[in-house]
Amino acid sequence: MKVLSQGEGRLFTDPDANRAREYFRGKSRALKSKLTTVSEAVARLVQDGEYVAVGGFGTNRIPTALLHEMVRQGKKNLGLSGHTATHDFEILAAGGCINRCDVAYVVGLEARGLSRNSRRLFESGGLEVTEWTNAALAWRYRAAAMGVPFIPARSMLGTDTFRKSAAKEIECPYTGEKLVALPALYPDVALVHVHRADVYGNCQIDGIMVADQELARAAKKVIVTCERLIHNDEIRRNPEKTAIAYFTVDAVIEVPFGSYPGNMAGEYFSDEEHLREWLTAEEDPETFRTFLDKYIYGTKDFGEYLQLCGGLAKMQKLRALELLSGPKGVE
């Protein structure tokens, strides 16, 4: 196959399908309990320097407890897949955890504005960046999930996004057309928050999947947090509902309200006040340090963070918002 050109960006992960197969060959298929704690899972499964990918969509169905714990444990020199990484990127950037990033969408929090601290990280040159697009990263997970070294696609072509990527432009062996070859992305660790899981790691997700099914299959290690732990009988009653199968999963932790301050479909809406508090605190580095001390470094776990943010009363308010059943005028 003819390679016509290639992006200048660095490829942070190995797309080799045979080396991935060697890894997956050694991965346990045993149906055994993987139930653990947030701190144990992060200490055991996330090593400094590894490449991490976060499930969900920025402020929706994100594994906040795991992200806070990575900051608390002072994880360093991580690579990150920036597949719409908004509040998740904001947390890891705040903790100084990352030094390289495959960027599709970061720094912004969509309609809420830009994260000042995340911008500082880019603008100080403190981050090595390779550019991609959201579809490119989703399709790169898909290639890895398929066990092939690349997948062809038709976006990115002709732009600076391609020029600063690590993609290659190839000639289609069937039609002769130009295509972009997207290298398979096998993250070292995926962090995913789901609605329900059993102790083995069989997961159910309500609402959109974003790219989490592909991601869980692509990643070498998968840490799952769930709103609610369920009995294996519930999984077996509706196997078609299993979005992520147990044999891809390495650790399971029950974390109720685990996507807070993000949205969890059908459970609770995002806490826009607290997300704004983050953005506002970031405007001044000293204020931001105090803010992080209060909410992350000064808390021993996610439960304490929820208490600080308003506890059960706040969660009930966000549930009413999500279910559109709040007092008139809240929405």
Q: How far is the CB of 123 from other proteins (least distance, A)?
A: 6
Q: Which uninterrupted H or E stretch holds 87?
A: helix 87-94
Q: How far is the CB of 233 from other proteins (least distance, A)?
A: 25
DSSP string for 53-68? EE-S-SSBS--HHHHH
> Is 293 exposed, middle or buried (CB count within 10 Å of its CB: 0-12, 13-18, 19+)?
exposed
Identify the three-state secondary structure at position 109.
Answer: strand
Q: How far is the CB of 212 from other proteins (least distance, A)?
A: 8
Q: How far is the CB of 85 from other proteins (least distance, A)?
A: 10
Give, in order, the Cα–Cα distances in Å from 4 to each of 140, 143, 145, 291, 309.
20, 21, 26, 49, 53
- C-alpha to C-alpha distance for 232 and 238, rounded to whole angstroms: 10
Neighbours of 70 (CB within 10 A): 26
Token couple for 146: 């398929």
Token couple for 202: 């069989």
Q: How far is the CB of 45 from other proteins (least distance, A)?
A: 25
Q: Which CB, 46 or 144, lies closer to other proteins? A: 144
Q: Which residues bind other proteins (CB under 8 A)?
A: 56-61, 82-84, 86, 103-108, 110-112, 114, 119, 122-125, 129, 131-136, 138-139, 142, 153-161, 164, 169, 177-180, 207-214, 263, 265-266, 269-270, 272, 322, 324, 331
